Amino acid sequence: MKITLAQVDAALGDVDANVDHAERAVAEAVADGTDLVVFPELHLTGYSIGGLPDDVSMKADDPRLTRIARRAGDAGVLAGFVEDGPGIHTYNTAGYFAGGELVHLHRKLYLPTYKSFEERKHFTPGPSLRAFPGGSGTRMAVLLCNDAWQPQLAFLATQDGARVLLVPAASAQSLFPEHFDSRTYWRDITRFYARMFQLFVVFVNRVGAEDDLRFWGGSHIVDPWGEIVAEAPEGDEHLLTADIDLADVRRRRRAIPLVKEARLGLISREVTRLLDEGGDL
């Protein structure tokens, strides 16, 4: 399978310009023979939407999303946008499109709200995590930026059949410069998941700046042995296309069957006990 990591910048609040940019990136990747194009978190709106005067949300069937999907032809596209969801809800969403049609929506589950991150003020947490058919006969799942800091989600995605974890991000370095190296943290997370859950991890981070946020890029793919097999440069826009062998997941899991016996009944009983004892709901 050939995957393109679309490490792009975003014009905050200018959805039409970002859609045009995404279309050009998709066209270039498709010309290179890609099977899947993965964009960063909220690349169609920009990240810091709280200060915008206008509503930048869109329905999942918005014609602008359809344009990007159709530009990809038979290839898949994972696009990040502010979703005008059902009822009163607005979501930070990544939509997977294939063959010009919507296949799956992942609504971000864990919303950071500290310092410059104010997602819980603007978004509703997503209600579910599901793996989905991602082409080439495999299943994929999405962990949207901060979702990847919750190891239980990667576990659930694996048990739901995912062989590829797509991790779109809007990761910035400048918030905790004295104690936190974002690049190192993300490499530790993606390599850990790849090794422990024996799958491919596709991390796609944006570049550019918004206020005090400096998005650093560094998009990469990790194989089921935890080795980085492709990596984009930091700081600049870049389309990185790489081939992965999906059969490596099965080879790795047959050699060392770490994920075969999850003991879901045990986990269910213990989670129920914690809830009964007053745990987080």
pLDDT, tens digit (0-9, with 9 covering 90-100), for 127-172 = 999 999 998 889 999 999 999 999 999 999 999 999 999 999 999 9
> How large is the average pLDDT for residues 53-74?
97
% of the chain residues with pLDDT over 90 = 89
Write down the pTM of the prediction: 0.96
Percent helix, strand, coil in the chain, to 5, is: 30, 30, 40
The DSSP 8-state label assigned to residue 145 in this structure reads G
pLDDT at 166: 98
**Banded model confidence at residue 177, pLDDT cuts 50, 70, 90:** low
Asked whether residue 44 carries a pLDDT value surpassing 90, the answer given is yes
pLDDT in tens, 211-270: 889 999 999 999 999 999 999 999 999 999 999 999 999 999 999 999 999 999 999 999
pLDDT at 90: 98
Residue reference for tokens 């596209």? 77
Choose the CATH number for 2-276 among 3.60.110.10, 3.20.20.70, 3.10.450.50, 3.30.479.10: 3.60.110.10
> How large is the average pLDDT for residues 42-56?
95
Residue pair 41/9 in contact by the 8 Å Cβ criterion = no
> How large is the average pLDDT for residues 44-55?
94
**Cα–Cα distance between 235 and 254 in angstroms, integer?**
38
**Banded model confidence at residue 176, pLDDT cuts 50, 70, 90:** low
> How large is the average pLDDT for residues 116-121?
86
Asked whether residue 94 carries a pLDDT value surpassing 90, the answer given is yes
pLDDT at 173: 77
Beta strand extents in 47-160 (DSSP E only): 76-84, 90-98, 101-107, 113-114, 117-118, 132-133, 139-142
Summary mean pLDDT of the chain: 95
Residue pair 108/93 in contact by the 8 Å Cβ criterion = yes
pLDDT at 53: 93
Q: Where are the domains of the chain?
A: 2-276
pLDDT at 69: 97
User: How many Cβ atoms sit within 10 Å of the Cβ of residue 107?
Assistant: 22
> How large is the average pLDDT for residues 21-39?
98
Asked whether residue 178 carries a pLDDT value surpassing 80, the answer given is no
pLDDT at 179: 59
> How large is the average pLDDT for residues 184-199?
97
